[in-house]
């Protein structure tokens, strides 16, 4: 059982006389000098401070308190940061020969402090001690954990709560960062890993997009940038090509569409006398114009002095038939000895007419050109494509993919009729 002394009777300024008077009211029981409530890691922790006076007379207690500075310092205040709590009761106590007020509501003033003081006679049961304390290494009360340390970066925080992403403390070995918020658009998203391109979160001011993959054929490319024509990546379903620039006439337009050159077999048959290369080129152009094909067209023919390799534009883009089927990816592919698809359509998109047999194959075409685009050996040019008399001429086969598409056979009369290849420049 305790008699509880309210704070004004013994806090700083009250003086030992007042403390003695309060103690004198109950010298047969230990005196509890209030309850200090401390805050540690956000948890309220009550502590009770007591002093025994059961063997002291009032005068002895006064003398002890007057001389015992250490004791006075011990009982005249709560620890720094603590709050004082007291309780009141209607119980009274007395001592032989004294009539000092002992009622719990009694107020006393003294010139020592000039202020009121209250003496409480509350009796309380229970043991003096502490409640659950975070950091003591024992999990109790409302604690989730208690590892007995003050490390804010391990599994158990100083609040005795388990560490979690978003608590504002970087969990060593588990988290890269923890900024204590629920935003995914800053430098530390809700995964508690540093923001990076490819994490699926768009970091404001840093990324334009983030689709959480490494693909470069969708709307978000390397560097977490929005896909755009000219970035060097072909966006599927949107771009046909992307050569990393916005320049036209380089095979991929500034709109990221393929720039192609068309080729066809003439629907018209010619003897070896076409009016030279100039006449043959004019015939190709006329046929293209009639079919509504844009661009400039030249005949795939060689003479003693020139060839397609010498006079054609070496196109960096695709060569296609009039139906759009690619026959070569570029000039180098066109003259490498094979085609990607046979050049077997005329300017209207129809099968070409048969010519004079080359061997047993009637699909012969006038060429006098080797697979590499230079003139074929032997000089079989029908006198520079000006003669329809005695030969010889040189032919390719329009249904072939290998080098015989342009270099298949030679000989025969220049009076026979064959189509020619026409290629856009």
Per residue of the chain (425 residues), give pLDDT as tens: 334 444 443 444 444 444 444 443 444 444 444 444 444 444 444 444 444 433 344 444 434 443 333 333 333 444 444 444 444 333 333 333 444 444 433 334 344 444 443 334 444 444 445 667 898 999 999 999 999 998 899 999 999 999 999 999 999 999 999 999 999 999 999 999 999 999 999 999 999 999 999 899 999 999 999 999 999 999 999 999 999 999 998 999 999 999 999 999 999 999 999 999 999 999 999 999 999 999 999 999 999 999 999 999 999 999 999 999 999 999 999 999 999 999 999 999 999 999 888 878 999 999 999 999 999 998 899 999 999 987 789 999 999 999 999 999 998 899 999 999 999 99
Q: Are 10 and 22 spatial neighbours (Cβ–Cβ below 8 Å)?
A: yes
- Strand locations in 225-285 (E): 225-226, 260-265
Q: What is the torsional sign of CA 385, 390, 391, 397? A: positive
> pTM for the complete prediction?
0.56
Q: Are 423 and 308 spatial neighbours (Cβ–Cβ below 8 Å)?
A: yes
* CA–CA gap between residue 225 and residue 237 (Å, rounded): 18
* CA–CA gap between residue 186 and residue 90 (Å, rounded): 62
Residues 6+ apart with CB under 8 A from 82: 36, 37, 38, 39, 47
From first CA to last CA, the distance across the chain in angstroms is 112
Residues 6+ apart with CB under 8 A from 151: 158
Tokens of 290: 């009639």
Summarised one tens digit per residue, pLDDT across range 349-376 is 999 999 888 878 999 999 999 999 999 9
Q: What is the pLDDT of residue 65?
A: 40
Q: What is the pLDDT of residue 345?
A: 99
Question: If you ran DSSP here, which 8-state letter would residue 358 be given?
Answer: B
Question: If you ran DSSP here, which 8-state letter would residue 404 be given?
Answer: G
CA neighbor of 405 nearest in space, from 332, 331, 327: 327
Q: Are 364 and 356 spatial neighbours (Cβ–Cβ below 8 Å)?
A: yes
Q: What is the pLDDT of residue 88?
A: 39
Q: For residue 262, what are the β-bridge partners? A: 320
* CA–CA gap between residue 112 and residue 104 (Å, rounded): 21
Task: State the residue for tokens 């001389």.
Answer: 67
Domains of the chain, earliest start first: 3-118 (no CATH), 260-424 (3.10.100.10)
């Amino acid at each position: 059982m305790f008699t509880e002394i309210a704070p004004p009777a013994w806090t700083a300024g009250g003086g030992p006389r007042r403390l003695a008077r309060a103690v004198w009211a109950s010298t047969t029981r230990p005196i509890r000098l209030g309850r200090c409530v401390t805050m540690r890691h956000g948890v309220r922790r009550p502590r009770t401070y007591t002093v025994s006076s059961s063997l002291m007379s009032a005068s002895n207690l006064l003398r002890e308190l007057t001389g015992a500075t250490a004791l006075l310092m011990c009982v005249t205040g709560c620890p720094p940061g603590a709050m004082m709590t007291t309780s009141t009761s209607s119980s009274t106590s007395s001592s032989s020969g004294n009539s000092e007020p002992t009622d719990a509501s009694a107020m006393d003033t003294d010139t020592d402090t000039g202020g009121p003081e209250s003496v409480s006679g509350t009796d309380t049961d229970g043991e003096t001690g502490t409640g659950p304390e975070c950091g003591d290494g024992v999990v109790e009360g409302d604690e989730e954990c208690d590892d007995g340390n003050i490390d804010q970066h391990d599994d158990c925080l100083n609040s005795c709560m388990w560490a979690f992403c978003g608590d504002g403390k970087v969990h060593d070995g588990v988290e890269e960062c923890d900024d204590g918020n629920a935003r995914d658009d800053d430098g530390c998203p809700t995964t508690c890993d540093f923001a990076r391109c490819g994490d699926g979160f768009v970091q404001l001011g840093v990324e334009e997009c983030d689709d959480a993959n490494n693909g470069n054929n969708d709307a978000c490319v390397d560097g977490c940038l929005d896909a755009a024509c000219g970035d060097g990546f072909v966006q599927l379903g949107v771009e046909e090509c992307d050569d990393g620039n916005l320049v036209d006439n380089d095979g991929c337009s500034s709109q990221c569409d393929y720039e192609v050159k068309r080729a066809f077999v003439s629907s018209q048959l010619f003897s070896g006398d076409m009016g030279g290369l100039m006449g043959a080129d004019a015939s190709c152009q006329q046929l293209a114009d009639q079919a509504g094909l844009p661009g400039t067209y030249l005949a795939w023919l060689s003479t003693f002095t020139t060839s397609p390799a010498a006079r054609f534009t070496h196109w960096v883009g695709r060569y296609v038939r009039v139906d759009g089927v690619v026959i070569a990816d570029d000039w180098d592919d066109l003259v490498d000895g094979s085609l990607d698809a046979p050049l077997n359509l005329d300017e209207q998109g129809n099968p070409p007419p048969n010519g004079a047999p080359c061997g047993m194959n009637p699909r012969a075409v006038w060429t006098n050109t080797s697979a590499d685009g230079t003139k074929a050996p032997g000089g079989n040019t029908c006198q520079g494509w000006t003669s329809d008399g005695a030969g010889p001429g040189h032919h390719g086969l329009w249904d072939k993919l290998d080098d015989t598409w342009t270099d298949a056979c030679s000989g025969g009369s220049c009076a026979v009729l064959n189509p020619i290849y026409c290629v856009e420049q």
